Amino acid sequence: MAVNVVKDNDMPEINAPLLQEIRARFAHVEACPFAGPRIFFENAGGDMFQDKFNKFFSLLEDINFNNNKTYKLSLSLKGAGYTATISDCKTFLNLNIGFSNPVLIHIPTDKLKVSCEKNLITVEGMDKVFVGDFIAKIRKVKTPDAYKGKGFWLRNEIRPLKEIKKL
C-alpha cells in the first residue's frame, strides 16, 4: 500500500492509511484525544523504548521515502581461474575459487536478485542491510589477499597492496 506523507513546516502530516499501517505494526502508537490523530509514546521502558522508537522511524522512512528503491552492490572476482556462476534453479551461487570443491551459497530469491557476468557478481534488493549482509557473506569465503590482490573486491574498491619482502 503506497502511503504519502506531506511535510508542512518540517512536521509530517499523518493521513488515515498511514495511521492504520502504523497501528497494525506497532501496538504502542495511538491517537491523542486532544490533538487528534498523532503519534506519541509513553516514556517507559528505557532501552526497549529507544529500540521501538528507532525501529518505528526506520520503518516509517522505508514506507514513505524508499518505496520501490532498489540497492545494488557489485563484487569483482580477481584471481586466475576464479569463476562464479548461478545454478540452473537460480537458488545457489557456485564459486570456483581455487578450493578442492566448489563453494555453494544459497541465494534468498524472494529478497535478492543475483546476476553473474564473467568476473562480476551483482546483487540487487529492496533492503539495503540485507544486500550488504549477503555481499559480506560472499566476501567472507575469499577475502582480498593483502599481497597478491586475489579474492572478492567491491567494484570500485581501492586497497593498497603490501610489498613482498625481498632478501
Topology annotation, domain 71-154: Outer Surface Protein A; domain 3 (3.90.930)
pLDDT for 117-165, tens place per residue? 888 999 999 888 889 999 999 999 988 888 888 888 888 888 888 888 8
pTM of the model: 0.59
Whether the CB-CB separation of 144 and 151 falls below 8 Å is answered with yes
pLDDT digits (tens, 9 = 90+) for 29-39: 455 556 555 55
Give me the chain's average pLDDT, please: 76
Q: How far apart are the first and last CA of the chain?
A: 67
What confidence score (pLDDT) does residue 44 get? Answer: 47
pLDDT surpasses 60 at 113: yes
Reduced to 3 DSSP states, what percent helix, strand and coil does the chain have, rounded to the nearest 5?
Answer: 25, 25, 50
Q: Where do the structural domains in the chain lie, given as residue ranges?
A: 6-64, 71-154
